[in-house]
Structure 1
Amino acid sequence: MKIKVLKLDASSAGDIELNDAVFGLEPRADILHRVVTWQLEKRRGTARPTRERADVARSGKKLGNQKGGGTARHGDRRAPVFIGGGKAHGARLRDFNPSLNKKVRALGLKMALSAKAKDGSLIIVEALDVAEGKTKTLAGQLAGLGFGKKALVIDGEALNISFAHASSNLKGVNLLPAIGANVYDILNHDTLVLTRAAVEKLEARFHG
């Protein structure tokens, strides 16, 4: 698949040949759904449990006589009514640690990239250099490129500092290194923007 490469000022910088094994697959909703569900579940933290009556280490000896003491007939100090006793109806352990085959995860990322290439919302840029890292300069350039309301920009091995500074105050523009490319963020943005370095990194990730 051949696609145009643009500069930030919207001028042409030639063409690039995209690997069909990465950018030319037919997207499958079931695969994308499985990967996005797995990714969001992995974000959830473990719900920590509280110690209930059976978990508290205290004496099991009966506090006093069953009758004649003038107090309630308690059996031991692990009861929830005592300080240091177990929690009544406390939170239970809930550990969200789903698993998903590596091949399915890799296939999901390829399909997410292919989906953006197929619907025309993939933009390839030569580089992300912004003069003096000025937000005003970058905002004018992005308007000419047609980034849309929400754009995910993926750079190569390291982020371009000038672009990172210039885009930090722009709403709807998010920046990731190639290693951070993921299905959820790609699908959650209107436009996917890749640099040449990002394309090389992503293709090498699957066909290194």
Structure 2
Amino acid sequence: MELSVLNSTGQDTGRKVTLSDAVFGIEPNTHAMYLDVKQYLANQRQGTHKSKERNEVSGTTKKLKKQKGTGGARAGSMKSPVFIGGGRVFGPRPRNYSFKLNKKLKNIARLSALSTLARNNKVALVDAFTIEAPKTSAFAGILTNLKVAERKTLIVTAQKDEKVYLSSRNLQKVKVAEAANLNTYDLLNADTLLLTEDSLKTLEQLYSAE
């Protein structure tokens, strides 16, 4: 698959780059992507949910009524779950939702996500972002020139670019990531994957040997 290289004004530079089949041309493994996204979302959970059980709520343990002769069930404590203000039965407790995935599986999932984006023509290539100083309006203008302003866009840079990050962090539909730190969830959540030429080279170096 060939991509035209655009500049920051949205103009075609006249150069074309062929995407590596080892990175953008594999048969997508949907189950691997499912597991990787599931792990990512599970790792976002704090797991600090907690409700009080009957031994933790405050209240009297005095008998509410005599045990026999009332025609009803025995009631031994206001902490019982059957009463308002009592403890909760089998309530949530703090737990860790994270789980382990093999490194090879996670790499297959990322390659599958990249190949899925390429198949659906959701990959764009820009030579570089020329930003003199961090400015949201200027960066929004660049995205408008590239015709991705109205789409959820994942911008990939080769290394951490402070100017690009600071310029884009207030834009609701834009996320910036380094090539080495991509995850399957962000890739599949994007309508457009916007790569710089340097980040494309980094991706191919990282994943072509997988």
TM range (shorter): 0.7 to 0.9
1:153 to 152, 155, 168: 155
Report if aligned partners of 1:131, 1:137 keep a CA contact under 8 Å in 2: no
Equivalence for 1:169? 170
The one-letter code sitting in structure 2 at the alignment partner of 1:119 is N
Deviation at 1:153, TM superposition (A): 0.5
Deviation at 1:185, TM superposition (A): 0.7
Report if aligned partners of 2:30, 2:112 keep a CA contact under 8 Å in 1: no
TM-score (norm 1): 0.73
Report if aligned partners of 1:129, 1:162 keep a CA contact under 8 Å in 2: no
Cα offsets for 1:123-179 (capped at 9, x unmatched): 1111122244333332222112111421110101222x3322332332211111122
TM-aligned CA distance change 1:162 to 1:111, over 3 Å: same
Matched residue pairs, number? 182
Percentage of matched positions with identical amino acids: 31
Mapped to 2, the partners of 1:168 and 1:48 lie a distance apart of 30
Mapped to 2, the partners of 1:199 and 1:111 lie a distance apart of 16
Equivalence for 1:2? 2
Q: Which is further off, 111-120 or 168-177?
A: 168-177
Q: Structure 2 stretches of 5 or more lacking a match?
A: 56-60, 64-78, 80-86
TM-score (norm 2): 0.73
Q: Structure 1 stretches of 5 or more lacking a match?
A: 55-70, 74-80, 82-86
Equivalence for 1:142? 143
Deviation at 1:31, TM superposition (A): 2.3
Report if aligned partners of 1:129, 1:163 keep a CA contact under 8 Å in 2: no
Give the superposed CA RMSD: 2.9
* 1:179-198 alignment runs, 5 A limit: 179-198=180-199
The one-letter code sitting in structure 1 at the alignment partner of 2:35 is R
Mapped to 2, the partners of 1:50 and 1:171 lie a distance apart of 35
Report if aligned partners of 2:51, 2:88 keep a CA contact under 8 Å in 1: no
Deviation at 1:50, TM superposition (A): 9.0
